[in-house]
Amino acid sequence: MAGAASGELTGGAGRRVAAARLARLGEWIPWVVIVGLGAWAAIALTDQFVIGVIVGSLYALSAVGLTLIYGIARVSHFAQGDAMMLFAYLAFFVMTGTVAGIGSADATLPLSLDLLPGASEKLWRFSFGYGLILAVIAAALLAVPILLAIDRVVYQPLQRRGASTAIVAVASLGVAITMRGAMLLIWGPGGRRYAKGIRDTVDLPGLPRIVADQLFIIGMAAVLAAATYLLLYRTRLGTAMRATADNPDLARASGIDTAATRRWTWAIGGALTAVAGCLLALQSQLSPELGFVLLLPIFAAAILGGIGSPHGAFIGGLIVGIIGEVTVGAGIVAPGYKLAVTFVVLILVILRWPNGLFGARS
Amino acid sequence: MSAVVAAPPALAAEGITSGYSETPVVRDVSLAVARGEIVTIIGPNGAGKSTLLKTIFGFLRARTGRVRVDGADVTGLPPERLVRRGLAFVPQTDNIFASLSVRENLAMGGFTREDGVEARTEWVLQVFPVLADRLGERAGRLSGGQRQTLALARALMLEPSILLLDEPSASLSPVMVESVFANIVEINRRGTAVLMIEQNARQALAISHRGYVLTNGQNRLEGPAAELLASDEVRRLYLGE
């Protein structure tokens, strides 16, 4: 009898071990599916895959900013898409000095980066000169005080009075609408581009022909992603940022000035947002309406990766970008459904893992 | 004829009244912790023990009363400033950075240190060798007892003179409770005063020098731990005898 009992026990333990193994296997299934589909797309639909990586890397940068702001400042920042566009317009303004005039003609200020000697002469095969690079840096620097001011005037007072996250999110929607209004007022409703004329292409071995500007975009995105990673995981400030996102009270109890950490988060998140916006405008165009269109895939990316997780947001951005381009490119859906496919994938993922791919597993 | 001036207590709370809403949870409570002492606050649930500790550590603003560290008035200073005055606090729950590695938890514990983080980490690992093999592991993966050990280790990174502990033995197995109390004695032996709240009144008082009994947010009894353990009232009401 004792033997039977112990046999049962072993059987139960065996089943538990097997169940645990199966659960661990289950953890890997989405990754096998994601990497498998990605590899298939990269081979069968290389052109669309490359575009997906480009667009996705920009979603990724912005989503990292969004997820940091959510994690540390506890703001669901619905103004993220419009902020990207606004900062892209600021770069345009600094570079060209152009604002919309009364009537149809533009007014151009006598002061701009393009007036510097050779600033608009094309670099390598890019469509732009060093003026744009300076303008992007200027936009990233301008983004910092703008977002710090908005945090101080709008979000912090609300949070101090105990406003819920929903109230703060709605306030950020108000900020988004204000930003869009400012863009419409200053630069008009029409689309604009950083550079006019034909875009040069480059041939890379084993890859489809690619516009030179797109190489610049991917390179910048990769450099910024690496820099952000090093900052978050290899510096004292970055660790303090992650600690504050993880447990704000314990961060204070450890002597971390969480108010300063919050300011750093807006600064870093804002700079990332600005560069992502400028690069996106370089890839497509400047348009006041584009910001809101961007908001959905960026939120999808951050949620897919697990809101609050920077590397999750980055991978989420790439996945969202690639899914959108590849499903349309493969003729699976009409272009109008690009975002719908992304959201179907998002819903499937969060039905199984409510905290996203890299979120906390309860 | 030289006047003998007694050294001020390491930590003193004087007439603290505080709470979350209109009605205060803690009313006119005073206590003191001398250098090198272990002091335990016991009392029934809802007596305001936790509220008192959070007020002392600056998470809550005292409506009246003062908090002094080594005689200096620190009333109203936020936690991030108090840690620079030698206070450290271990909350009852959520007392580690679960998504950070054990090493990063210790580094954050020593966040305000100008230097000596490495040396202090070595010291802490010597006191808690169980953490030494787990430095690279995510703190959220540690067992309950190891988490509590890490929580203590994090708080010790700044070499505090007073350690505040909110129910350090809560939700631990009896074996782990013993080990946590042994850790507290060891920390105290190395020179840190301890002020703790405990449900586990008997064991906590057994390692303490003095104790306070709080009921309904007010001071009820205080005295040497051994006397409290022997008092009829304490035995009846709080030790279940």
Least confident span in A162-176, A205-219, A277-291:
A205-219
Residue B137 phi, psi (nearest 5): -80, 150
| Interchain CB distance below 8 Å, B83 and A253 | yes
- The answer to whether residue B186 is domain-embedded is yes
CA distance A242 to chain B (A): 8
**Is residue B2 assigned to a domain?**
no
Query: Any idea which residue has 């109203």 for tokens?
Result: B76
Would you state the structure tokens that stand for residue A236, as one six-digit string? Answer: 């004292």
Q: How confident is the model at residue A8 (pLDDT cuts 50, 70, 90)?
A: very low
Look at residue B71 and tell me if it is in a domain: yes
Q: Which of B57, B80, B96 lies at the smallest CB-CB distance from A256? A: B80
Best to test chain A binding among B108, B113, B138, B159 (most A CBs inside 10 Å): B108
Per-residue pLDDT reduced to its tens digit, A319-328: 999 999 999 8
- Domain around B147: 11-237
Distance of alpha carbon A245 from alpha carbon B186, whole angstroms = 32
Distance CA A276, CA A60 (A): 9
Q: Given pLDDT bands bounded at 50, 70 and 90, which one contains residue B130?
A: very high
d(C-alpha B57, C-alpha B76), whole Å: 9
Asked if residue B149 has pLDDT above 70, the reply is yes
Strands B72-73 and B64-69: antiparallel
Do the Cβ atoms of A272 and A61 come closer than 8 Å? yes
Q: Assign residue A319 a region: left if phi > 0, alpha if psi is -120 to 50, beta otherwise?
A: alpha
The count of C-alpha atoms lying within 13 angstroms of the C-alpha of B10, restricted to the half-sphere facing its C-beta, is: 20
Neighbours of B1 (CB within 10 A): 2
Given this model, what pLDDT does residue A3 score? Answer: 43
Residue A106 in 3-state DSSP?
Answer: strand
pLDDT of residue A56: 95
Question: What's the rounded Cα separation, in Å, for the pair A134 and A136?
Answer: 5
Question: Are A226 and A64 a contacting pair, CB within 8 Å?
Answer: no
Interval A25-73: pLDDT, tens: 777 787 888 889 889 888 888 889 999 999 999 999 999 999 999 999 9
Q: What is the CATH number of the domain that holds B180?
A: 3.40.50.300
Neighbours of B123 (CB within 10 A): 16
> How far is Cα A72 from Cα A74, in angstroms, rounded to an integer?
6
| Cβ under 8 Å to A: B residues 144-163 | 154-155, 158
User: Does a structural domain hold residue B120?
Assistant: yes
Calculated CA dihedral for residues A295, A298, A303, A305, nearest 10 degrees: 180
The model carries a pTM of 0.89
Quick check: is B6 in a domain? Answer: no
pLDDT of residue A177 exceeding 80: yes
Question: Which structural domains are found in chain A, ordered by start?
Answer: 36-352 (1.10.3470)
What pLDDT does residue A298 have? 95
User: What does residue A98 show for φ and ψ, rounded to 5 degrees?
Assistant: -95, 135
Report the domain count for chain B: 1
Q: Has residue B69 been placed in a domain? A: yes
